[in-house]
C-alpha cells in the first residue's frame, strides 16, 4: 500500500477522532471489556484536547490517496503518547511506517530512548519492534482500571 506521512493539521481533527474511536471499538475490544471500550473511545469527544495535541506535539498522520489511515504523536520529545491505525488497514505496514518516523524524530531531538504506554492489543507489535517491557501496570482512566505496559527502546 502506498501511504504518505505528513504533519497533522486542525483540519484533520474529524478524521483523527473518528479513526481513534473506530480502532478502539473494533480492534481493542479483543482485550478490554465493553465498559472499558466505551470509556476509552469517548476520548474522541475531547476535541479541545485533540486540537492541543495537534498544535503542541509532534503529531503525524499516514494517508493513502483518499483518507487518513493512521496517526501517531510524541509528547515531551521522546514519549509516544498515541499510535492508532484504521481498523481496515491493520497489518499493512502503516504502524511500522508511523513508528519509524517517530523513532527518527526522537533521534533528531537527541533523546537516547523512546517510551510508551501500550495496550495489551499493541504489545506484540512493539515487542516485534525490539521494545522492552519496563513494567505491567494498571492505570485509572475516568473511573475504570486499564491494564497496559510501559515499554521502551534504546535508539
80 in a domain, yes or no? yes
Of 67, 87, 105, which Cα lies nearest the Cα of 21? 87
141 in a domain, yes or no? no
**What are the cell numbers at 14?**
474529524
65 in a domain, yes or no? yes
Helix axis angle for 47-56 and 13-26, nearest 10°, is 110
94 in a domain, yes or no? yes
74 in a domain, yes or no? yes
51 in a domain, yes or no? yes
The total domain count for the chain is 1
144 in a domain, yes or no? no
Q: What is the pLDDT of residues 41-88, one digit of tens each?
A: 999 999 999 999 999 999 999 999 989 999 999 999 999 999 999 999
Percent of the chain at pLDDT > 70 equals 100
- Between the CA of residue 30 and those of 25, 26, 58, 154, what are the distances in Å? 9, 8, 29, 30
The domain of 46 spans 4-111
pLDDT of residue 137: 97
**Single pTM value for the model:** 0.96
Amino acid at each position: 500500500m502506498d501511504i504518505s506521512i505528513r504533519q497533522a493539521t486542525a483540519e484533520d481533527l474529524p478524521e483523527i477522532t473518528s479513526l481513534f474511536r473506530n480502532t478502539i471499538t473494533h480492534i481493542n475490544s479483543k482485550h478490554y471489556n465493553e465498559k472499558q471500550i466505551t470509556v476509552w473511545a469517548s476520548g474522541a469527544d475531547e476535541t479541545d484536547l485533540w486540537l492541543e495535541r495537534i498544535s503542541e506535539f509532534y503529531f503525524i498522520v499516514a494517508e493513502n490517496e483518499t483518507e487518513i489511515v493512521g496517526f501517531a504523536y510524541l509528547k515531551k520529545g521522546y514519549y509516544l503518547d498515541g499510535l492508532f491505525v484504521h481498523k481496515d488497514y491493520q497489518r499493512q505496514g502503516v504502524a511500522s511506517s508511523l513508528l519509524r518516523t517517530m523513532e527518527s524524530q526522537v533521534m533528531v531531538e537527541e533523546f537516547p530512548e523512546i517510551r510508551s504506554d501500550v495496550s495489551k492489543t499493541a504489545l506484540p507489535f512493539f515487542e516485534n519492534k525490539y521494545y522492552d517491557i519496563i513494567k505491567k501496570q494498571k492505570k485509572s482512566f475516568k473511573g475504570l482500571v486499564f491494564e497496559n505496559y510501559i515499554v521502551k527502546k534504546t535508539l
